Amino acid sequence: MKRVIFNQKGGVGKSTIAVNLAAIAARHGKKTLLIDLDPQCNSSRYLLGDAARAAAPTLADYFEQTINFVFYPKPAGSFAHATPFENLSLIPSHAAIGELQSRLESRHKIYKLRDLLNELASSFDEIFLDTPPAYNIFTQSALIAADGCLIPFDCDDFSRQALYALLQNVGEIKSDHNPTLRIEGIVVNQFQARASLPQRMVDELKAEGLPIFDSKISSSIKIRESHDRGLPMIHLDARHKLSREYLALYDELKAA
């Protein structure tokens, strides 16, 4: 199963959700791969810490060799690096990936990520793709390559307006490039159960027929510690409320 975590709005928790779901899948014994498509490299640093700076080859190297028509390209498996967590591998990003965007677009390399994932599919049970906060060739490539799409969502009006544009973009990718792509659901992130606005907004989105997961991710300072220590929540504190929420979300995904 290949899942892309996508929202063209920044600050909605894409990397955090991608890393924590991947860590839980790996903890469940699934051979799991996380692909970091964001030039900010947040997922890469989350899992590898300072070692992310020296990791090679990266996704940027993969795209570079597709542009330059390398006669003896690196095999697909060489881009997947082991992490400190059993069953969890990472294809790290690099800041240079942003500089490749226009070259990839001009050469119509929008299907190359799908080619890479097709080569790797037999080696992994689950693949998660973390995307940048933009609708560009990297997010489009991820949507083309994926089976399912998870949409992180913060409960405010700006996020709500951006959500409608996002759904239209995903629909266009499905129509034009990937007819089997489906939106598995919208993940409500940084949810504040005691506040009236978030619950009202969730209820309104459900009334519109949008697929909102029952499992919600609370707002908690603990996630900052998780980032700082480079430990997904399931490894930092499996009994914490956030860990239980991520576990519930993963279970809901598997049951869908």
pLDDT in tens, 38-48: 999 999 999 99
Contact, 93 vs 53, CB < 8 A?
no
Angle between helix 112-120 and 137-145 (nearest 10): 40
* One-letter amino acid of 84: P
pLDDT value, residue 191: 86
pLDDT value, residue 178: 97
The whole-number average pLDDT for the span 4-30 is 95
3-state percent helix, strand, coil for the chain, nearest multiple of 5: 50, 15, 35
> Percentage of the chain surpassing pLDDT 70?
100
Length of the chain: 256
What does the alpha-carbon distance between residue 124 and residue 126 come to, in Å, rounded to a whole number? 6
Evaluate if residue 199 carries a pLDDT over 90: no
Q: Provide the CATH number for the domain formed by 2-255 in this structure.
A: 3.40.50.300
Nearest alpha-carbon partner for 64 in 132, 14, 142, 116: 116
* pLDDT tens-digit series, residues 49-69: 999 999 999 999 999 999 988
> Percentage of the chain surpassing pLDDT 90?
86
Sorting pLDDT into bands at 50, 70 and 90, what band is 167? very high
The whole-number average pLDDT for the span 110-117 is 96
Evaluate if residue 83 carries a pLDDT over 90: yes
Which of the two residues, 238 and 73, has the higher pLDDT score? Answer: 238
pLDDT value, residue 45: 97
Sorting pLDDT into bands at 50, 70 and 90, what band is 33? very high
Evaluate if residue 133 carries a pLDDT over 90: yes
Task: Give the chain's largest Cα–Cα span.
Answer: 59
Domain boundary assignment for the chain:
2-255
226: three-class secondary structure by DSSP: helix
